[in-house]
Chain A
Amino acid sequence: MLMKPTGNLDEVMAELRQEHRTVEAPAHLELILSAETEAKARSIEREPVNRIWAWGLSFALLASIAVVAVEWARHRVHAPEGRQVQAEEHVAPAPDPTLGSKAADTRSPKQAGELTVVRHTHARVVNDDAGRTELNVSNSQEPLASEEASLGDFVALPASEGLPPVSAISLVRMRIEQSALQQYGLEVPAEAAPRTLLAEFVVGEDGLPRAIRIIP
């Protein structure tokens, strides 16, 4: 008689189930979960603002990178050109000692269609204490070879009216055919081989060339 209620597993399991159901969840977890829920909601509300800041900072960073990249690319593009100009200057031949004065027209260098202007800059002729005439080039980014040269290196063109006032003269550098020097009154031997020279002209305010120098 006593064995019957205890021998049935289902009845024992029902007893155990009743015992099991008496266990309740801890009450303090309810408060913790409630607080966590509200805190999480507040953090989600702040998220859009944080996202806008993140996007703004990312955009600013990308813009800065783009500007730096463009400047760097521009620097890379311009740097080889400078070296090329210098190379051309080194290749230029020495002035021909056979050149001499000859009456010629007074066309400006630009009017000689076959000429190529290499560089144009403003310069001033100043007299130092020793009475020498010096040529100062105002464009100091890439100094001309004549920057250190005195005006005495220039050969006055035969038909020119002499050096212009020192207040303002222009210096024009160009690549010119050797035969074209005749247009400026300079004597060129007929047997000279055709070649290109790098020359600098002193040009007055009226735009007429006054003196020339062959750059070696």
Chain B
Amino acid sequence: MFERLIGRQRSGEKSDAELHEAALKGSGDAMAALYRRHGGLVYRFTLRMSRDSSIAEEVTQEVFLALLSQLDCFDSQKAALSTWLCGIARRQLWKHLGRFGDAAAAEDDAAEAESTEDSPVTWVLRQEAVATVRDGLDELPLPLKEVIVLCELEEMTYEQAAMVLAVPIGTVRSRLHRAKARLAELLRGNLVNAGGEKKC
């Protein structure tokens, strides 16, 4: 157990390329370290896009297994591993969504963030706004939704998102702009409704 823990600590210090090479040679610890480092990104992305935890788990597993089988595809000199994994995840996800449709129900299992600084009314209004944006995000078309997830929620750069989506950077910018405009419009409408209800 101690050796395994030491191995993880050591493998955690290695670069993605070194861990990838070790995983190709059959190191389960290296693969585990890669998963701990990038699994969250892949899982969050697939979960947000599919709104189905079982699909997200399946796609995440397929993505990391693809890391073992598609030896010649990943080039650490050209792209970061996280970007490459997200690209694979996106392709696998589109296959699943094509197979199962987009009828999966949203599973809202996110923990509610508590705020100690705001007043109760402010906190409630903020939570309503977050819920509105979250729901609006789910209503967005998939090309706009994935740009929001990558650039806003995962804070990828335009270049990284363009590599994941395999589109030009200008396309990423325009999609992001359109997506934000829709969400802002949705948010304004929600506020107007909330203000009207409040007046009543």
Chain B 138-177 interface mask (CB, 8 Å, partner A; 1/0) = 0000000000000011110000000000000000000000
Residue on B nearest A13 in the bound complex, by CB:
B152
> Contact check: which of A19, A24, A26, A42 meets B130 at CB < 8 Å?
A19
Please determine whether A40 and B26 come into contact, CB atoms closer than 8 angstroms: yes
Which residues of A line the B interface, CB within 8 A? Answer: 2-3, 5-7, 9, 12-13, 15-26, 29-38, 40-42, 44-45
How would residues 16 to 42 of chain B score, 1 for a CB under 8 Å from any chain A CB and 0 otherwise?
Answer: 000000010111111110011001101
Whole-angstrom CA separation of A26 from B59 in the bound complex: 12
* Interface pick from B43-51, B73-81, B92-100: B43-51
**CB distance A25 to B26 under 8 Å?**
no
The CA of A5 and the CA of B118, in the complex, are separated in Å by 10
Please classify how large the interface on chain B is, using the bins under 10, 10 to 19, 20 to 34, 35 or more.
35 or more
B110→A33 contact, CB < 8 A: no
Q: Is the CB of A6 within 8 A of B26?
A: no
List 13 additional contacts besides A17-B153, A25-B42; criterion CB under 8 Å: A2-B122, A6-B191, A9-B180, A13-B183, A15-B113, A16-B134, A16-B137, A21-B153, A33-B35, A34-B31, A36-B65, A44-B26, A45-B26
Please report B residues at the A interface, Cβ cutoff 8 Å.
23, 25-32, 35-36, 39-40, 42-44, 47-48, 57, 60-61, 64-65, 68, 110-111, 113, 118, 121-122, 125-126, 128-130, 133-134, 137, 152-155, 180, 183-184, 187-188, 191, 195
Minimum C-beta distance from B1 to chain A (A): 14
B152 touches A17 (CB 8 A): yes
Supposing A2-B121, A9-B180, A23-B44 touch, asked if A41 and B126 sit within 8 A by C-beta, the answer is no
